[in-house]
Amino acid sequence: MDPADKILLDHGSGGRIAHRLLRDLLLPAFDNPALAELNDGAILEVEGSRLAFSTDSYTVDPIFFPGGDIGDLAVNGTVNDLAMCGARPLALSAAFILEEGFPLEDFRRILGTMARAAREAGVAIVTGDTKVVPRGAADRVFINTSGIGLIPPGVRVASHRARPGDRILLSGSLADHGVSVLAGREGLAFQTTVQSDTAPLHRMVAAMLAAGGEAVHVLRDPTRGGLGTALNEIAESSGVGVLIHEETIPLKPEVAGLCELLGFDPLYLANEGKLVAFVHPEAAEAVLAAVRADPAGRDAAWIGEALAAPAGRVVMQTRIGGRRIVDMLSGEQFPRIC
Amino acid sequence: MATRHSAEYRDRHLVQELSSRIRRLSRRPLRIMEVCGTHTVSIFRHGIRSLLPETITLLSGPGCPVCVTDTAEIDAAIELARRPGVVIATFGDLLRVPGSRSSLERERAAGCEVRIVYSALDAVALARQTPGREVVFLGIGFETTAPTVAAAVLAARQAGLGNFSVLCLHKTVPPALAALTAAGDLRIDAFLLPGHVSVVIGRRAYLPFFERTRLPCAIAGFEPVDILQAVAALVAQAETERPQVENVYRRAVAEEGNPAAQRVLAAVFEPADARWRGIGVIPASGLEIREAYAAFDASRRFPLELAPAPEPRGCSCGEILTARKTPPECPLYGIRCTPSDPVGPCMVSSEGTCAAYFRYHDASAGG
């Protein structure tokens, strides 16, 4: 590392360069087995029980976007990180960094959203903290939430448990959140009806685990970095190949249209209320039925399968019958020139 | 994943039919250069190479605007970004392109003001909203983008804006084709000509180039069916030895192009020599802002020392852009040069050959 190197926005993009930061700086600094698992949350054994523990900080521009605001993301994001460990969320914390001059009205609105989201998720925000920094030292409001959850006995989901033959389920349409935020961003004069998909997924997960038990091998919510990055992470940790079929991936026409226009690949845009699951074929239909019974999972579809080879890689059969590699996101996607 | 409007151009049966037709027709080896970066991305994204017979090689040409932007031009943009009071407004692709020592992304991290915009008119709006600042738009792109930048200059003049200017790095396609084929050691048998550029300049603009080279040419759209139809047309031309400039994108490209866009272009810009990264200076292949609009020309407003900058050591972008090497033949490819840490511009843009290769290509996937 060059001493003159600085943090770039790309270090937070959730793609390859963010991984490098994790591997080169964070993992060596905090070195321990629970962290090294690199799941959405850490799994801790406490006197015979297994707890999931997760934390996430939220910054989004704009704060208010079609279908939600930063408050929904902060509650649902952490609830979902716990759910992806197979856990039932028990309690959340919330900490705020507020910029001097931030309108109280906006803050009140965000708190209202968070309270509603927590109520809907059935989890209480039990502790918190508020700090105010001088104007310019933060951008309006940053939120951190942490959460703990209880993992029921017999549940063993982890990103390294994918096996060749597993079927891959996506719980609904791709990239809705990413597109709603893009469309809400200043300077992008697109009218769109796309709403963020932000939603808590722990009830869907509980139903999936009830239906499939240990046959549910991997759960992941493809947030930053999108589905493409999430599948690569799973392929790498499990040492399997992943084959997905483009025509089976649910995608709203207006999302596809905006992506075409800007040259964005929906495989790399964020989702906030979707999950991807690797499921042993014997339980596949039961798990799909459980997902579809949830309001956030009505459009769920099988999108591919895990293979023995090429280990660690993701390949997509394109709609027209060709094949291509799907790599991890490498650098924040920028709109193209022509 | 598909959009309704393009579904018929992504029809699997039509694609299979075209693929078989090409396999049936193709006897002799044919090296086809796709000139346009959008074609490159579409070819990789849809896995089109995996549908073609071994006789056909697709090569990516100098049609990614970011890839052909010279290092010295990036250095100039960086120098402008560092000046107090200057806001750089740019298309996102340009952010990560390395200059000799830095990139706009790094300058932004160091505190310079660099804003991503989606069109030149957004930059005009930014200038209007920030009267105390000098907004410099980085004008990059071919005949597709240049008319929108010309329109922005006209809008800025009409609004009487004194704080908007364009660093004009635009380039034009036909002179580059001529330069590619003029160099000896030509390794291209046919050209897949760009769709968007042709919408503006028309089929006719390629005729002088064609008359000199007599190489098969086809103007293509960007959907898989468009591209395969054009490849089939090129194969037929080559096999029958009857080359022409075939317009396979008739739903968008007219013989004469778009006269309104051509008028706006001619009003604001005039041809000038331009340096293409990896290729060198090509006569009359760039656009310069006319004297009448000098007030909106960043290179006149902020005199810059444009020191010629050497290409990064080992970088083969020039050879790749001219079909003399494929990305994996570059010693830096995938080792020192990756999309998250690019050395050469072909690895930077989402439309760059090396980036597309890196993201989508894999021999085991048949891509």
Q: What is the pLDDT of residues B100-125, one digit of tens each?
A: 888 999 999 889 999 988 889 999 99
Residues of A in contact with B95 (CB under 8 A): 334
Alpha-carbon gap, residue B177 to B322, rounded angstroms:
10
Pairing of strands B86-90, B134-139: parallel
pTM, full prediction: 0.81
A164/chain B closest Cα distance in angstroms? 17
B185/chain A closest Cα distance in angstroms? 31
* CATH code of the region B7-314: 3.40.50.11740
Among the listed residues A336, A201, A330, the one whose alpha carbon sits nearest the alpha carbon of residue A276: A201
Say which amino acid occupies B142: F
- Which of A151, A181, A203 marks a domain boundary? A151
Position B245 confidence tier, pLDDT thresholds 50, 70, 90: very high
Note whether residue A330 is domain-resident: no
Q: Are B90 and B115 in contact, with CB atoms under 8 Å apart? A: yes
Determine, for residues B360 and A325 on separate chains, whether the beta-carbon distance falls below 8 Å: yes
Angle at which helices A70-83 and A202-212 pack, to 10 degrees?
Answer: 20
How many CB atoms sit inside 10 A of residue A210's CB? 13
Domain that holds residue A232: 167-325
Alpha-carbon gap, residue A56 to A52, rounded angstroms:
14
Pairing of strands B269-276, B56-60: unpaired
Residue B106 near chain A (CB below 8 Å): yes
Among the listed residues B96, B106, B32, the one whose alpha carbon sits nearest the alpha carbon of residue B67: B96
Note whether residue A246 is domain-resident: yes
**Whole-number pLDDT of residue B341:** 79
Higher-confidence residue: A190 or B280? B280
Q: Kindly report, as residue ranges, where domains of CATH 3.40.50.11740 are found in chain B.
A: 7-314
Note whether residue A333 is domain-resident: no
Residue A311 near chain B (CB below 8 Å): no
A134 and A182 share one domain: no
What tokens does A253 get? 């026409």
Average pLDDT over residues B36-57: 91
Alpha-carbon gap, residue A209 to A151, rounded angstroms:
11
Average pLDDT over residues B84-100: 90
Say which amino acid occupies B267: A
- Which of A151, A184, A208 marks a domain boundary? A151
Q: Is the pLDDT of residue B366 over 50?
A: no
Residue B84 near chain A (CB below 8 Å): no
Residue B146 near chain A (CB below 8 Å): no
**Which candidate in B20, B148, B340, B354 is best for mutational testing of the A interface (most A CBs within 10 A)?**
B340
Q: Is the pLDDT of residue B35 over 70?
A: yes
Q: Is the pLDDT of residue B8 over 90?
A: no
**Whole-number pLDDT of residue A337:** 54
A182 and A130 share one domain: no
In chain B, which residue's Cα lies nearest the Cα of A5? B106
What tokens does A143 get? 């939120």
Say which amino acid occupies A74: A
**Whole-number pLDDT of residue B28:** 95
Those residues of chain A that have pLDDT short of 50 are 186-187, 338
Q: Give me the total of CB pairs closer than 8 Å, taking one residue from chain A and one from chain B.
A: 156
Average pLDDT over residues B140-146: 93
A123 and A180 share one domain: no
Alpha-carbon gap, residue B337 to B330, rounded angstroms:
10
Average pLDDT over residues B217-225: 95
Q: Is the pLDDT of residue B367 over 50?
A: no
The domain that holds A174 is classified in CATH as 3.90.650.10
Residue A101 burial by Cβ neighbours in a 10 Å radius (0-12, 13-18, 19+): exposed
Q: Are A304 and A248 in contact, with CB atoms under 8 Å apart? A: yes
Position B247 confidence tier, pLDDT thresholds 50, 70, 90: very high
Of B2, B44, B349, the CB nearest to A319: B2
Q: Is the pLDDT of residue B295 over 90?
A: yes
Helix (H, G, I), strand (E, B), or coil: what is residue A331?
coil
Position B207 confidence tier, pLDDT thresholds 50, 70, 90: very high
**Whole-number pLDDT of residue A305:** 98
Say which amino acid occupies B49: R
A183 and A140 share one domain: no
Note whether residue A264 is domain-resident: yes
Alpha-carbon gap, residue A227 to A239, rounded angstroms:
18
Q: Are A67 and A99 in contact, with CB atoms under 8 Å apart? A: no
Alpha-carbon Rg of chain B, whole angstroms? 21
A97 and A218 share one domain: no
Residues of B in contact with A174 (CB under 8 A): 1
Q: How many domains in chain A?
A: 2
Pairing of strands B30-34, B56-60: parallel
How many CB atoms sit inside 10 A of residue A334's CB? 21
Planar angle of CA B151, B156, B159, nearest 5 degrees: 125
Measured CA distances, A296 to A102, A204, B132, B215 (Å): 33, 8, 48, 55
**Whole-number pLDDT of residue B363:** 44
What tokens does B128 get? 């209007």
Alpha-carbon gap, residue B278 to A106, rounded angstroms:
52
B contact residues 336-355, partner A, Cβ 8 Å cutoff: 338-341, 349-351
Determine, for residues B142 and A322 on separate chains, whether the beta-carbon distance falls below 8 Å: no
A102 and A68 share one domain: yes
Residue B55 burial by Cβ neighbours in a 10 Å radius (0-12, 13-18, 19+): middle
Alpha-carbon gap, residue A325 to B149, rounded angstroms:
35
Q: Is the pLDDT of residue B360 over 80?
A: no
A142 and A225 share one domain: no
A100 and A180 share one domain: no
Q: Is the pLDDT of residue B97 over 90?
A: no
Alpha-carbon gap, residue B195 to B35, rounded angstroms:
10
Element (H, E) at A151: strand A141-151
- Which of A151, A176, A194 marks a domain boundary? A151
Alpha-carbon gap, residue A24 to B164, rounded angstroms:
43
Note whether residue A257 is domain-resident: yes
Residues of B in contact with A9 (CB under 8 A): 105, 108-109
Higher-confidence residue: B292 or A337? B292
**What sign for the dihedral angle of Cα B205, B208, B209, B213?**
positive
A142 and A281 share one domain: no
**Whole-number pLDDT of residue A219:** 97
What tokens does B64 get? 């990614």
**Mean pLDDT, all residues of chain B:** 90
Residue B181 near chain A (CB below 8 Å): no
A309 and A249 share one domain: yes
A183 and A259 share one domain: yes
**Whole-number pLDDT of residue B361:** 67
Higher-confidence residue: B240 or B345? B240
Alpha helices in chain A (DSSP H): 16-21, 27-30, 33-36, 70-83, 104-121, 176-184, 202-212, 226-238, 253-262, 284-292
Q: Is the pLDDT of residue B198 over 80?
A: yes
* Alpha carbon of residue B63 to chain centroid: 3
Determine, for residues B38 and A338 on separate chains, whether the beta-carbon distance falls below 8 Å: yes
Helix (H, G, I), strand (E, B), or coil: what is residue B42?
helix
A183 and A145 share one domain: no
Note whether residue A11 is domain-resident: no
